[in-house]
Structure 1
Amino acid sequence: MSMFREHWLGGLTAYSAFFVVSLITTISVSIIYGLPFDWNPTISLDPLGILGCFVIALLFGLWPDVDIKSRSQQFFYTVLFVLNASLILLLQRYLEAALLGLFAMLPILSRHRGWTHSKFTMILLPSLFLVIPIYVEYPNWATGWKKLPDLFDSLVKWEGLPDTLRGGLTFYLAGLIGYASHLHLDGILFRSRKAQQRKARTNQ
């Protein structure tokens, strides 16, 4: 059963706690050691960045329930439709639109509390906030996939890589925390998969 209200509140609450602790740490270390206030890459001090992180935490707190008919599913598929239509009609980014459409089909092909409720997915999915900035900003994609080792070597040596990853880390953590709050409320985060399966068999 989807718990729409509990999950969006859970995502916001979890990220709020993280943000407050991280902000206090940032200010304290900056004052004590004389560091600039932007030394901590785990949070943004930009108002729009802060707002974006809270929105991301909320959305990722809802995301896992897209695999079942729910308010979360209706919301996300509406957003994905608008985004996909924009990629096709406005930006003419057909490859990205096709990949987004392919990804959008995956949750409804799985069982409820399948891969969308996996701890592995919790870690992997927010990494889009690390990968997409690299995809957008890295200038040497023209190398082509036929020379993948050369492309990877060039990417590792790219001077802009550390700053790009640093910029995405803030949003990655927001997504991770929101996702973790969902799994925690569902009783999955700190329970092994075997324990979950045993509980499911017991309840049958």
Structure 2
Amino acid sequence: MSMFREHWLGGLTAYSIFFILSLVTTLTISIFYGTPFDWNPTITLDPLEIVGCFVIALLFGLWPDVDITSKSQKIFYSVLFVVNFSLILFLRRYLESAIIGLLAMLPILSKHRGWTHSKVTMFLLPMLFMLIPIYSEYSNWHWSLNWEILLQQIVSIITWERLPTVAQRGFAFYLAGLIGYASHLYLDGILIGTRKTKGKKAYTI
């Protein structure tokens, strides 16, 4: 059974604690050592981006339960519909829309508390927030099914001199997603395994 209220509150609470601690650390070091206030990549000081981080933490606190009929599922597929609609109608990014649509099917095809409740997914899925800026900024994309070309593309990206700077733009959002996701797994007794949970046993890898 989905614990909708517990999960969205858990995501917001966990990220709020992290944000406050990180903000206090940032301000303290900046004031005492005279460093710029934007030295800390774990949070953003832009008001809109701060709101975005809290929204991401909330959504990722709900996301693992999209594999069952639940309020979480309704929220996420509503958001995905708006995103896909915008990609097709306004931005004309058909490939990206197709990829998102394909990925959106995966949770429904899996069993409840399968890979969506995996610790590995918890770390990997929020990485989209670092990959999206790279995709947007890197100008030498060449889509191909040829493995040699794909390998060359990967090597080229890894050796790209702007990679650390561009990836850092999404790091605060990555952490927001990671913390929200971790709060869900903790409340389900998967992250640490100290809470009792109902239902099927989840993957813990």
Counterpart in the other structure of 2:60:
60
1:158 matched residue in structure 2: 160
- 1:144 to partner: Cα distance: 5.8
CA distance in 2, matches of 1:124, 1:141: 22
Q: Contact conserved, 2:142 with 2:153, CA < 8 A, in 1? A: no
Give the number of aligned pairs.
Answer: 196
TM-score by length of 1: 0.89
Structure 2 residue matching 1:187: 3-state secondary structure = coil
Question: Equivalents in 1 of 2:128, 2:108: separation in Å?
Answer: 20
Separation in 1 of the partners of 2:94 and 2:143? 20
Q: Distance in 1 between matches of 2:122 and 2:73?
A: 17
Could you tell me which amino acid in structure 1 is paired with residue 87 of structure 2? L
Counting aligned pairs with the same residue, the percent is 68
Supply the distance in 1 between the matched residues of 2:100 and 2:143 (Cα, whole angstroms).
24
Q: Is the 8 A contact 2:186 2:193 kept in 1?
A: no
Q: Cα distance, 1:141 vs. partner?
A: 1.2
Structure with more of its chain in helix, by fraction: 1
- Which amino acid in the other structure matches residue 64 of structure 2? P
1:32-111 matched pairs, under 5 angstroms: 32-111=32-111
Instruction: List 4+ stretches of structure 1 deviating above 3 A.
Output: 142-146
Aligned-partner residue type, residue 126 of structure 1: P
- The alpha-carbon distance between structure 1 residues 149 and 111, as it changes in their structure 2 partners (threshold 3 A), is closer
Tell me, in whole angstroms, the C-alpha distance in 2 between the residues paired with 1:119 and 1:142: 32
Gaps of 5+ in 1: none
Partner residue of 1:177 out of 173, 176, 179: 179
Cα offset, 1:31, TM superposition: 2.0
Q: Which amino acid aligns with 1:158?
A: W
SS at match of 1:2: coil
Q: Superposition RMSD on alpha carbons, in Å?
A: 2.0
Which amino acid letter does the alignment assign opposite residue 69 of structure 1? T
Question: What amino acid sits opposite 2:89 in the alignment?
Answer: L
TM-score, length of structure 2 as denominator length: 0.89
Q: Gaps spanning 5+ residues in structure 2: where?
A: none
Secondary structure in 2 matching 1:39: coil
Out of 24-33 and 180-189, give the one that drifted further. 24-33
Secondary structure of the residue aligned to 1:35 is coil
